[in-house]
Amino acid sequence: MHAVVHHHPAHRAPPPRRCSRGHGRSSVVVRAAAATTVTSNPGAAATAPDSPSAAFWDYNLLFRSQRAESRDPVALRVTEGAIPADFPAGTYYLAGPGMFADDHGSTVHPLDGHGYLRSFRFSADGGGAATAHYSARYVETAAKREEHDDAGASSWRFTHRGPFSVLQGGTRVGNVKVMKNVANTSVLRWGGRVLCLWEGGEPYELDPRTLETIGPFDILGRIGGTTTDEAARDNDSSEAARHRRRRPWLQEAGIDVAARLLRPVLRGVFSMPAKRLLAHYKIDTKRNRLLMVACNAEDMLLPRSNFTFYEFDANFELVQTREFVVPDHLMIHDWTFTDSHYVLLGNRIRLDIPGSLLALTGTHPMIAALAVDPSRQSTPVYLLPRSPEAEAEADASGRDWSVPIEAPSQMWSMHVGNAFEERNARGGINIQLHMSGCSYQWFNFHRMFGYNWQNKKLDPSFMNIAKGREWLPRLVQVSIDLDKRGACRGCSVRRLSDQWTRPADFPAINPGFANRRNRFIYAGGASGSRRFLPYFPFDSVVKVDVADGSARSWSASGRKFVGEPVFVPTGSSEDDGYVLLVEYAVSDHRCHLVVLDARKIGERDAVVAKLEVPKHLTFPMGFHGFWADE
């Protein structure tokens, strides 16, 4: 899940102190008594480079709305180094929110900000020299068209609350416009199409070159996805029937009744589709397939989760569909796969009845209806058979895939970098996952990114409070040992590197090594060099060698932060290529696209090139990106 934060410059914070087990500096961003202690013009704020006031404004400038679009490609100026001669022709797409504040007093949570797609297109000019052009456009979702009047004054008025937000201006109480598909979370180029995805609705398709919105891309409708009535009948499928035998009949019948009652409410009042695609997808490079997963709309509110996995070939034709019913109340943001399994790391949640009542009043966001459920001190790992043959093999061996493997630590799963399985000498299977996770104590639905529905700024303190070593987002390896009958012989969780114990997230690999043993993981991380923003936003890229646990890093200097790294391969070796990322120089209000030599991360000359986005087009922090070779 993405993490966020809210308002308050700070008065004097306590001096930095050392954590006992290697966090580096840890400190707390303390809130100021009043926001008036800082000038109302952050660009002119006379603040020390590493002060509470600078930390507050730097954080908020990362989420500053950008109303301008760049419909015509703009050539980017290289300010450092040069685009390497072997850099491939292609486009780096970056999804994320672009609009957070309207013209009528409302500010929304970053996860509810309207989708703003950015693209960096690399090609060769007539003389053979490499060039890069930048474009950016809003995704013209139905909600964006309703909330943005682009005629005349080009004004914005938020009418939808969004699941994470409360409107300060306009209608609050009784406002049933909650769910708006903002298409802001991830981007994909597959089968000649560019899709922007969001967690609660269908993707939107955009033209790969002009970024003009073509319209909703109804994947489930194209392949015969279920309607609301059909979804109701799905609960009588053989899969659901199998799970009824594992629960008391009365309990299962009660869940069925609740599901039938919730579907028309969610679809009618909250405009949620019967099935919603998750924003994270996977690409199986061995089989050249795109893997996606959907769950039922009512799953968020019930102790049962319905997952449908889809696999598409290179032409976006459906290859296979697999359905599973998991008897648990889970939130799944990211997931992964191996040759034989779909792998879900479950984040356990529960319905918050008091929060639900407050959410319905309009004074609290709808996400207040949910709370994390830390009642069990383990992490459920569901290994779902990827093929009918794998399921038949599991059934023959007596392995019940609906019963999770309990990883021996409580961890909130955030993002997965890679997973693979290998046969062992005993005829069983070893499965490894490289991922990021945090603690249930650190993750907070109500304070992500520091959003506070009673204020209009983001407070970085929540993301930077000094907590236990295992609380903050970290890179880990989950290892599962299955015997030849599929029974779990052991499961362990350990840090990917003892040399990098600081916070990290957004793990990425060379995409050619997906679903097979990889050696290197690249991730965004925190150097801890800033006293008042020691943990987030990230300012570094760390390269972890999984084979020996060593870690090397590159860090931005001064008041600069970085987004998710993306690997661009150029050769056959795993680290033969470049790492792309956006650097946000918030004090100068500028963005740079940084090209790192993947092999030289940790060395002085790791930066190959920096390309400057024109200042008037500086954009807020993005979420997830995608590299597409031409």
Binding residues are: 333, 415, 624
Tell how far CA 29 is from the center of its chain.
Answer: 25
| Cβ pair 483, 424 in contact under 8 A | no
Enumerate long-range contacts of 489-497, CB under 8 Å, 24 or more apart.
Answer: 489/428, 491/381, 491/405, 491/406, 491/407, 491/408, 492/407, 492/408, 493/379, 493/407, 493/408, 493/409, 493/411, 496/434, 496/521, 496/544, 496/546, 496/549, 497/542, 497/544, 497/545, 497/549, 497/550, 497/551
Tokens representing 9 are 């410059």
Rounded to the nearest 10 degrees, how much is the dihedral formed by the CA atoms of 591, 334, 112, 542? -20
Class of residue 236 by CB neighbours under 10 A (exposed 0-12, middle 13-18, buried 19+): exposed
DSSP string, 11-41: SPPPPPEE-TTS--EE---PPPS-GGGS-S-
Which is it for the CA torsion 392, 396, 402, 405, positive or negative?
Answer: negative
Radius of gyration of the chain (CA): 24
| Cβ pair 60, 20 in contact under 8 A | no
Binding residues for Fe cation are: 333, 415, 624
Nearest to 189, CA basis, from 69, 314, 306:
314
Vertex 298: Cα angle to 296 and 299 (nearest 5): 70
SS3 assignment, position 262: helix
